[in-house]
Amino acid sequence: MVKQVPYLFTKADVRPQFLSDMQYENWIAGLLRTKKIMKVRKGLYVLADVTGEPMATKFEIASKIADDAFLCYHSALEFYGAANQVFHTVTVGSKSRFNPFTFLDVDYIRKQPNNDYGIAYIEQAGVRVTTLERTVIDCIDDVDACGGIDELLGALGQIRILDEKELLGALNAYNCVLLYQKAGYILQHYQEKFGFSDDFFDECKRHLTKQVKYFLKDEYGEVEYNSEWRLMAPKNLIARIGGGY
C-alpha cells in the first residue's frame, strides 16, 4: 500500500514503495481506470480533484518535466503576472531533452538554456522559474519567445521593480554584444520608472563595438538608426504601448 502520493509525481517519486515494477504498473493502471490520476506524459502523473481537474497548475507541471526544468520567457512573465496575454504554450528551459507534448490543450515545449544564471525555486508555488530580471533579459534576447515586441513592452509597463545589478548579472551571463545593445536601448526608455542609474547604461555601453546591428525588423512602423546604441531600431518605441507607461 502506498503511504504517500504527491499530487504531481513521477515513477521515481513512488516506485521505492513497491516490491516490483509490475506492482507499480498495476497500481498506476488502477488509478487511471478510476480517474483518480491523470497522465501528463510518459512517467509523469497528476492527481485529479473531485471535479476531474488536475491538482497542479501548468507551471508546476512544467517544473516537474525534468530535474532541471524551469519556466522561462513568456511563461515566466505569465507566472509573475506581468504578461498581457495568456498563451496555450508553456516554454520550459531544460538541458534534459524531451519531446514536446500536449496536456489538456496546453503545449509544453523545450528551449535550450543559454546559461544557468538567475533560476529560482519558488517553494510555496512548487515552481522553478527564471528570476524577473533574467526573464526580462531573456525576452529582450529573443523577442519572439516573449510573444513579440508589444508583449515585451506591455510586460515592462506592468512590472514594478527591477534590480539593475541582477539585470547586469543576466547580461554578463550571456556575454553578447548585441544583447547589451538591445537591453540598453529598451531599458533606457524605462530609466525613470525603475530608477536605473547612469552607471547601468554606461556598463552596457562598455561592451559595444563599432558594428551597427539590427534590433528587429519592425513591421509596424519606421526603423531608424540609434547612434547612442548603434542599432537600427523602431522609432517612438514607447508610443507602441498606447501612450507609454
Instruction: At 17, list the grid cell.
Output: 514503495
In a domain, 2, yes or no: no
Q: Do 43 and 63 share a domain, yes or no? A: no
Instruction: At 106, list the grid cell.
Output: 496546453
Residue type, 43: G
Within 10 angstroms of residue 214's Cβ, the number of other Cβ atoms is: 12
Q: Do 69 and 138 share a domain, yes or no? A: yes
Q: Do 71 and 143 share a domain, yes or no? A: yes
| Cβ partners under 8 Å of residue 45, min gap 6 | 8, 9, 10, 28, 31, 37, 38, 39
What distance in Å separates the CA atoms of residue 116 and residue 95, rounded to the nearest whole number?
10
In a domain, 136, yes or no: yes
pTM: 0.92
Instruction: Give me the tens of pLDDT residue by residue for the chain, a chain 245 residues long.
Output: 566 788 999 999 999 999 999 999 999 999 999 999 999 999 999 999 999 999 999 999 999 999 999 999 999 999 999 999 999 999 999 999 999 999 999 999 999 999 999 999 999 999 999 999 999 999 999 999 999 988 999 999 999 999 999 999 999 999 999 999 999 999 999 999 999 999 999 999 999 998 888 887 665 567 888 999 999 888 777 776 554 44
Q: Do 18 and 65 share a domain, yes or no? A: no
Instruction: At 133, list the grid cell.
Output: 530580471
